Chain A
Amino acid sequence: MLARCGFGRRGLLKFAIAMTSSLALPPSVAPVMAANLAKAKRRSVIWLSFQECTGCLETLLRSSSPTIDQLIFDFISLDYQESLMAAAGSAAEQTLREAMAANKGEYLLAIDGSIPVKDGGVYSLTGGRSNLSMLEEVAADAKAVLAIGTCAAYGGIPKAYPNPTGAVGVEDLVSNKPIVNIPGCPPVPEVLSGVLVHFISFGRLPELDDRKRPLAYFGTTIHDQCYRRPFYDQGKFAKSFDDDGARQGWCLFELGCKGPVTHNACASLKWNGGTSFPIEAGHGCIGCSEPDFWDAGGFYTSLAGGSATGWKSAGIAAAVGLAGGAAAALSTRIATPLEDAPASPPEKTPPEKTPPDKLP
């Protein structure tokens, strides 16, 4: 099948070798993967976009390995995607229904964007229908759900304080289907391709961590793979953006880098086909693949610091303390009687002093 599409046997084997390396599978698995890919029918994928900015789709369009055209022509059948497909309106709704019926129980459901639940989910509608009810219906017959981007995985930016629409991630709403979270704002596109290729080759999702992220890509932190790490270990930190230290590759910890607590593949896979990633461009990691990263206390506050109180609250606390202490001291002062000054010399006469020459 794939040979007809222009991907020769050797090209397919090479692709499989690259994929097994990327997925951290043993290289001996590559021929098995290539054989499975050659035989595989294109997997139906239904992509629903909810409360999102379209950044996750944009990042997928810039995937380099495989490219988006390779992906949708050779590996998957992208049966429904509102931005990319030609159909619109009722024709689009018909497409969705047909795709669901034709692939019932077998299609992969890809979601980007969070789902607002407040007020019956009225804050995000497609064709007059709430995302909440769409998710319920389409997920019911899906084989697995891919939550693409931090919004779909954990709620993302719509969930940031004060979360006026009641936005939540997919895992808070879907409980009876296998879910893979592919977080990132946006996610590294090769991660999504890796997950899809794994699923198509082996019929199952790759190994996931406790946050349902593929271990192959989210098993290590940015910190562990960062090329600036030797400078962190030596205590050489950039003090301001693009200063001499930063240009020499010094660590960006003091400029707010959240690399040590962020799991993602940016430092190894990088972006735009391995061109660069934020830290290489001189900006600290913002932790965009972790839940609630928007509310984690500021992108430019280092992990060593936090957001404590302002001077006003500190002043009030001090005043309260002083008041309490003063009250305590006052009550002690009232309770203990005043010392009297000695009024007159003692009545007893002092003993007679023995003259020195009379001493023995």
Chain B
Amino acid sequence: MTLLAFARGPALQAAVLIMIAGICWRLAGIFLLRRRKRFALPRASVTGRIGGAFTTILTRFVPRRTFWPRIAVSVMLSGVFHIGLLIILLGGAPHIQVIHQVTGLTWPNLPKGLIVIVSGLTLASMIGLLIRRVLNPVLRLLSTVDDYLSWLLVFLPVLSGVLLSGETIGGYGTLLALHILSVELLMIWLPFGKLMHMLLVFAGRGAMGIDFARKGAAT
């Protein structure tokens, strides 16, 4: 079996199954935990508890003015990275193809040149984030294998993807196989490390929002 056939066949099946099982495991493991009993009566709130959850999810996207001087660099690097990745995944023609294959949905794609530019910016921001993590003494102290591994498993797909679309380095078949395999590694690691924040950030912010709304605090 060629590497590409392996990547598009058994490896893909295994990665998808592990990712689904892992995500369900972690979500069940978190949501089925006992919650702290609240004995105080809920206060009146403008948004209500569910509204509070959604409001907090949105408001936490905007950095607080007080902290801005200290967090500006990391917020901007992180913003370029996240938004860049979103543009690549939702705007790139082959990715829309994959989504179409799974869900049947499709939409017009962005021009390849634009995706390549965005990929370059995404890679640059990722390198910036890594440099920051290594140079900042506090971050360096706090960083674990999970942090570096998660960075690597996101960096490799973006790098292999942009090399593949350029079609200058390496054979198309080999690069495509490596790109798909790197995505599969990402899928396998996703539920078990900090990459799970993809889903949990919304759960966490939502829980905070419900709590604050219950207390009558601003969400």
Contact = CB atoms under 8 A, between A and B. Distances in A.
Direct A–B contact present (CB less than 8 angstroms):
yes
B185 to A, nearest CB: 15
A328 B29 CA distance: 6
Specify the main secondary structure of chain B where it touches its partner. helix
A317 B20 contact: yes
Given A260-B173, A329-B33, A333-B33, A309 B16 contact: yes
A318 B97 contact: no
B62 interface: no
Contacts, number: 131
A245 to B, nearest CB: 13
A303 interface: yes
B34 A260 contact: no
Interface string A224-241: 000000000111010000
A297 B24 contact: no
A306 B8 contact: yes
Nearest to B28: A325
B20 A223 contact: no
A328 B26 CA distance: 9
A167 to B, nearest CB: 15
A223 B30 CA distance: 49
B182 to A, nearest CB: 14
B170 to A, nearest CB: 12
B74 interface: no
Contacts of A302: 94, 97, 101
Contacts of B25: 321-322, 324-325, 328
Nearest to A254: B97
A215 interface: no
A232 to B, nearest CB: 9
A297 B93 contact: no
Contacts of A235: 93, 109, 111-112
Interface string B157-185: 00000000000000011001000100000
B4 A261 contact: yes
A301 interface: yes
Contacts of B20: 314, 317-318, 321
Contact of B17 (A306, A317, A336): A317
B12 A295 contact: no
Interface string A30-52: 00000000000000000000000
Contacts of A319: 24
B217 interface: no
A329 B28 CA distance: 7
A296 B28 CA distance: 36
A292 B1 contact: yes
A360 B90 CA distance: 66
Most buried by A among B28, B30, B36, B180: B28
Nearest to A330: B32
A84 interface: no
Contact of B32 (A221, A292, A314, A326): A326
B3 to A, nearest CB: 11
Most buried by B among A235, A254, A309, A326: A235
Contacts of B98: 304-305
A345 interface: no
A349 interface: no
B29 A308 contact: no
A332 to B, nearest CB: 6
B198 to A, nearest CB: 16
B4 A296 contact: yes
A330 B180 CA distance: 37
Given A235-B109, A321-B25, A304 B33 contact: no
B93 A325 contact: no
Contacts of A234: 111-112
A233 B113 CA distance: 9
Contacts of A233: 112
B83 interface: no
Nearest to B19: A317
A53 interface: no
A313 interface: yes
A325 B31 CA distance: 9
A234 B165 CA distance: 12
Contacts of B39: 341-342
B22 interface: yes
Contacts of A260: 172-173, 176
B173 to A, nearest CB: 4
B23 interface: yes
Contacts of A187: none
B95 A304 contact: yes
B167 to A, nearest CB: 8
Which 4 A-B residue pairs are closest in the complex by CB-CB distance? Answer: A325-B28, A321-B24, A306-B8, A304-B94
Given A291-B2, A296-B2, A323-B28, 16 more contacts: A260-B172, A261-B173, A295-B1, A295-B5, A297-B8, A297-B9, A307-B13, A309-B17, A314-B17, A314-B20, A321-B22, A324-B21, A325-B25, A325-B27, A326-B29, A332-B34
15 contacts: A235-B112, A261-B4, A261-B173, A297-B5, A307-B9, A308-B12, A308-B13, A308-B16, A317-B18, A325-B32, A326-B28, A326-B32, A333-B33, A339-B37, A342-B39
